[in-house]
Amino acid sequence: MIKTIAEINEKIGRGQAVVVTAEEVIGLVAKKGVERAAREVDVVTTGTFGPMCSSGAYFNLGHSKPRIKVGGGRAYLNDVPVYTGIAAVDVFLGATAIPDDDPRNRIHPGPFNYGGGHVIEELVAGKDVRLVVSAYGTDCYPRKRLETWINIKDLNEAVLFNVRNAYQNYNVAVNLSDKTIYTYMGVLKPKLGNANYCSAGQLSPLLNDPYYKTIGIGTRIFIGGGMGYVAWHGTQHNPDVLRSDDGVPRRGAGTLAVIGDLKQMNPRWLVGTSMLGYGSTLTVGIGVPIPILSEEILRYTAVKDEDIFAAIVDYSGSYPQMSPDVVGEVSYGELKSGRISVKGKEVPTASLSSYPRAVEIANMLKDWIIKGEFLLTEPVAPLPGVKEGITFKPLKERPIEE
Amino acid sequence: MAISKRVVLHFPSRSVDQPIIYRLVRDYNLVLNILKASVTPKEEGIMVLELSGARADYDKGIRYLQEAGVRIQSLGQDIMRNDARCTHCGACVVICPTGALALDPKTRMVDFYEDKCTACELCVLPCPPRAMEVYF
């Protein structure tokens, strides 16, 4: 049984496509078997909703009268600094940027109440945002100061561009030390007080396409409540990690760089987020459709939490020290039971990724496809795969001698 | 009939030098568990208490507090979840010491049981979207 994306799109156009979520397909395969399920199902939808720090947006602000060269100057949106090292009125706002006067971790743990992620959420919500610019002034761009309210609807372009999202699997964070630590994986209580994980598991996009057989550059996706595209492989994309027999990575592996029109998005799916003692970030909703082109692809989408394993990592020791040690391995089935066993101790678990919201995304995407509002795209190039020469390198420090 | 309630007491600045809690225990035979207290001379003091005892004693004790100028608020309304901000990620469930924030294993949504909340506020800052709000 081989289907093409063009054939699936035809069925979507006729309103006849069979679409199920990556959660629903598990039961379907258990009931009907792979062969029959693969014949019946055209698309499996995935979803994930978690904090994703390598997110941001670029804007074209429009030219003021007289003109001002924001490029090379300093600019702030609601006191959060934006990157100005591009042309006159293009700026980039990163999710983890924080105001210059944020107290940071001066009193540890700092709260990090407001940052770039929150500005993105407010812009998407249609709220006015304060733009403050200081520039050096040129003959063709004479103005040196600008303070004004801006609104997303008045910007020429507002584009979400996230260089690393949708991690294919992730560490489970624990703390083996004897004091509480405050990490990007949440508050970790001492002596294995809790174990925090961050993946939608069986619903997560890349865990349903472990070898990137359908998801590639140009794949149309759900992003932030609107439609967007896979732009590239994400930074730190690392296919050559330990994998289970079914191909599913047991460590953080592939990632996606994604892009989409911020003006079409919705603040329910882009939420400004604060990690106590760590920083501010953006929680992002992503959903990727997987066309069922073959039985093999369907079999991958039927993966369930019990069969997906992640590494337990000590964030008080091996993580900050870049040591490769893992404390153990655990399945998402065990993690979602609320308690896991680590070093003979029963440890309560918490998730940073919202499973109910991931289900909602997979269902929204399913509805869009069933209604014919969302057609699948043929990737224009594949993501780098296993044994294609990609490595995830540490920084090699070389002393600078004067 | 025995009763156990969680209350927030607001002490006016003039009463901070009086042994009100001592009298509550001695004269009204109430058992109390102090969940949170912030009492500074010459300022309004706040105390979060779990009060238990016989119904008649409890009512008399509350009347005594009111006569002493203490404003009494029930606790349920003091920590609220902003449902528009909560994403049901579940980061809070390992932080909450009383099980007031717990994951429903079926829906995987976070339930907030206000009757179990002791207003310790431990959940407020670790909540990534900052959905837990304090109203004193």
Whole-structure pTM value = 0.90
A73-120: per-residue pLDDT in tens? 999 999 999 999 999 999 999 999 999 999 999 999 999 999 999 999
Are residues A79 and A219 located together in one domain of the fold? no
* Chain CA centroid to CA A286, Å: 7
Domain assignment of residue A236, yes or no = yes
Name which of B94, B107, B128 is nearest A274 (Cβ-Cβ): B128
| Full domain range(s) for residue B51 | 2-74
Based on the domain organization, do A152 and A267 belong to the same domain?
no
Active site residues of A: 140
Which of B36, B55, B74 finishes a domain? B74
Together in a domain, B10 and B56: yes
Residue recorded with tokens 């460590």: A251
Would you say residue A225 has pLDDT above 70?
yes
Collapsed DSSP state (helix, strand, coil) of residue B16: coil
Beta strands in A52-156 (DSSP E): 56-60, 74-77, 80-82, 90-94, 129-134, 145-150
> A200 to chain B: nearest residue by CA?
B89
First to last CA, chain B: 30
Q: What is the ipTM of this complex?
A: 0.96
Mean pLDDT computed over every residue of chain B: 89
Nearest Cα to A59, choosing from A94, A20, A9, A26? A94
Tell me, yes or no, whether B10 and B62 share the same domain: yes
Highest mean pLDDT among A377-391, B1-15, B108-122: A377-391
3-state secondary structure of A6: helix
**Phi/psi at A345 (nearest 5 deg)?**
-110, 140
Task: Indicate if B126 and B65 belong to the same structural domain.
Answer: no
Mean pLDDT of B107-130: 93
* Mutual angle of helices B55-67 and B20-28, in 10-degree steps: 150
Residue that finishes a domain, picked among B21, B45, B74: B74
Question: Do B40 and B87 fall within a single domain?
Answer: no
Q: How many domains does chain B have?
A: 2
Domain boundary among B44, B74, B104: B74
The verdict on A254 and A201 lying in the same domain is: yes
DSSP E strands: which ranges in B39-128? 45-54, 71-74, 79-81, 101-103, 110-112
What letter does residue A18 receive in the DSSP assignment? Answer: -
Range scoring the smallest mean pLDDT among A98-107, A117-126, A185-194, B61-70 = B61-70
Same domain, B46 and B10: yes
| Cα B26 from Cα A238, distance rounded (Å) | 68
CA-based torsion, B43, A113, A286, A370: positive or negative? positive
Q: Give mean pLDDT, residues B2-17.
A: 82
Q: A171 and A312 share a domain?
A: yes
Residues A33 and A90 in one domain: no
Among A335, A339, A354, A357, pick the best mutation site for testing chain B contact (most B Cβ within 10 A). Answer: A354
The domain spanning residue B46 has which CATH number?
3.30.70.260
- Kindly state whether residues A223 and A253 are assigned to the same domain: yes
Cβ count within 10 A of residue B115: 9
pLDDT over threshold 90, residue A41? yes
CA angle A71–A74–A80, rounded 5-degree value: 120
State whether B96 and B121 are in the same domain: yes
Question: How much of chain A exceeds pLDDT 70, in percent?
Answer: 100
Asked if A152 and A264 count as a contact pair (C-beta separation under 8 A), the reply is: no
Q: Which one-letter DSSP state was computed for residue A356?
A: H
Which token pair is B37?
Answer: 């207290």
Backbone angles phi, psi at A191, to 5 degrees: 50, 55
pLDDT band at B19 (very low <50, low <70, confident <90, very high): confident
Given a contact cutoff of 8 angstroms between Cβ atoms, the answer to whether A209 and A385 are in contact is no
Instruction: Tell me which of A128, A156, A184 is where a domain ends.
Output: A156
Pick the last residue of a domain from A105, A139, A156: A156
B82 with B55, same domain: the answer is: no
Whether residue A363 is found in the same domain as residue A241: yes
Q: Are residues B25 and B69 in the same domain?
A: yes
Q: Which residues constitute the domain of residue A135?
A: 56-156
The pLDDT of residue A123 is above 70: yes
Chain B positions in Cβ-Cβ contact with residue A276 (cut-off 8 Å): 125-126
B82 and B46 belong to one structural domain:
no
Write out chain B residues lying below 8 Å of A272, CB-based.
129
SS3 A130: strand
Nearest alpha carbon to residue A214 among A367, A358, A42: A42
Instruction: Give yes or no: residues B19 and B43 share one domain.
Output: yes
Q: Which two tokens stand for residue B127?
A: 């909540």
Q: CA B18, CA B40: separation in Å to the nearest integer?
A: 12
B122 touches chain A (CB under 8 A): no
- Establish if A398 belongs to a structural domain: no
Residues A71 and A25 in one domain: no
Determine contact, residues A292/A200, Cβ cutoff 8 Å. Answer: no
> Does B87 contact A187 at a Cβ distance shorter than 8 Å?
no
> Residue B91: its chain A contacts at CB < 8 A?
186, 196, 350-352
Calculate mean pLDDT across residues B110-132. Answer: 93
Q: Give the residues across from A359 on adjacent strands.
A: none
B82 and B20 within one domain: no
Binary contact (B94, A348; C-beta < 8 A):
yes
d(CA B90, CA B78): 21
Vertex A44 angle, CA A236 and A297, to 5°: 70
User: Domain ends where: A129, A156, A183?
Assistant: A156
How far apart are the C-alpha atoms of B133 and B136, rounded to whole Å? 10
- Same domain membership, residue B107 and residue B59: no
The pLDDT assigned to A55 comes to: 98
Indicate yes or no: CB of A354 within 8 angstroms of CB of B103. no
A207 & A327 share domain: yes
* Chain B, nearest residue to A187 by Cα: B126
pLDDT digits (tens, 9 = 90+) for A303-356: 999 999 999 999 999 999 999 999 999 999 999 999 999 999 999 999 999 999
| Per-residue pLDDT at B100 exceeds 90 | yes
Whether A395 is in a domain gets the answer: no
Given a cut of 70, whether residue B136 has pLDDT beyond it is: no
Nearest Cα of chain B lies from the Cα of A63 at a distance, in angstroms, of 34
Residues of A within 8 A of B133 (CB-CB) are none
How far is C-alpha A148 from the geometric centre of its chain's CA atoms? 31
Q: Exposure of A286 by Cβ count < 10 A (0-12 exposed, 13-18 middle, 19+ buried)?
A: buried
Q: Are strands A56-60 and A90-94 parallel, antiparallel or unpaired?
A: antiparallel
**Whole-number Å distance between alpha carbons of A128 and A76:** 14
